[in-house]
């Protein structure tokens, strides 16, 4: 991977969409915008966003997707945001976004901008359905759910088949119990983040040294035996 673009040669998307087994070598670091303009069928479900400045759900122009049952704790300047940048569309006609925001929970923290709403826009056209979302300030009082112009919808403009949202009142405990690749075997960093969310003690660090520095896991190796795998699908036999 040689650049941070959302698509095209050298992008992470190009590497992930390639056929067959592969090794992705990262030759650049930074923020990769994967929910780019006019992306469709995006689903952001049951994630924990803890103490982030610019790592919370951000949908760009024309995106169609859902944000369901996420826990957003101590967001910085934005929680769920929609922003269409007309200059990035060039001569192409822009498209209004369509988003369903259901059953999410946001808790302000020490780094959260005063008065931050759960969902915000830059004023660009988008159709939004909101239902059963909860948002609180640091004292536990409700805060506004939206900021910026959008077209409110009475039903979801887009929704994945078979998806059933859990009640917003159950989201915090569900996400804290299930978020992550290995919730049954969390490492020290994951446990610290979960504990900080429970205690309301998260803080955006100025340096990795404030949270114990970079981890130094032991090196592990395992020989790849191609006979154990279907190489066309990369699933074990």
Domain positions in the chain are 1-33, 35-202
Query: Tens-of-pLDDT digits for all 237 residues of the chain?
Result: 888 776 788 888 788 778 877 777 777 766 666 566 778 899 999 999 999 888 899 998 889 999 999 999 999 999 999 998 887 777 888 889 999 999 999 999 999 999 999 999 988 889 999 999 999 999 999 999 999 999 999 999 999 999 999 999 999 999 999 998 889 999 888 999 999 999 999 999 888 898 888 878 788 888 888 888 888 877 888
The answer to whether 137 touches 115, Cβ cutoff 8 Å, is no
pTM value > 0.95: no
What pLDDT score was predicted for residue 6? 67
The answer to whether 66 touches 100, Cβ cutoff 8 Å, is yes
d(CA 123, CA 57): 17
The answer to whether 116 touches 79, Cβ cutoff 8 Å, is yes
> What SS3 class is residue 88?
helix
What is the Cα 100 distance to its own chain's centre? Answer: 14
Kindly list the distances between the CA atom of residue 181 and the CA atoms of 69, 128, 186, 229, in Å, as whole numbers in the listed order: 17, 30, 9, 22
Kindly list the distances between the CA atom of residue 214 and the CA atoms of 31, 78, 188, 208, in Å, as whole numbers in the listed order: 18, 26, 12, 7
């Amino acid at each position: 991977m040689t650049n941070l673009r959302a698509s095209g040669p050298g992008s992470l998307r190009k590497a992930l969409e390639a056929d067959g087994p592969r090794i992705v070598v990262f030759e650049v670091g930074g923020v990769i915008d994967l929910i780019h303009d006019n992306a469709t069928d995006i689903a952001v479900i049951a994630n924990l966003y803890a103490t982030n400045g610019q790592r919370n759900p951000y949908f760009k122009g024309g995106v169609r997707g859902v944000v369901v049952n996420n826990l957003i704790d101590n967001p910085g300047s934005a929680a769920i945001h929609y922003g269409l940048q007309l200059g990035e569309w060039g001569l192409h006609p822009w498209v209004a976004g369509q988003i369903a925001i259901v059953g999410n929970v946001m808790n302000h923290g020490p780094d959260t901008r005063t008065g931050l709403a759960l969902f915000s826009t830059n004023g660009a056209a988008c159709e939004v359905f909101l239902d059963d979302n909860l948002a609180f300030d640091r004292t536990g009082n409700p805060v506004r759910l939206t900021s910026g112009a959008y077209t409110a919808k009475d039903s979801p403009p887009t929704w994945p088949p078979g998806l059933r949202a859990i009640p917003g009142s159950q989201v915090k405990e569900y996400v804290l119990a299930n978020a992550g690749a290995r919730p049954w075997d969390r490492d020290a960093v994951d446990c610290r983040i979960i504990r900080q969310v429970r205690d309301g003690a998260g803080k955006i660090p100025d340096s990795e040294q404030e949270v114990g520095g970079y981890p130094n896991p032991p090196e592990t190796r395992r020989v790849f035996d191609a006979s154990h795998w279907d190489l066309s699908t990369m699933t074990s036999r």
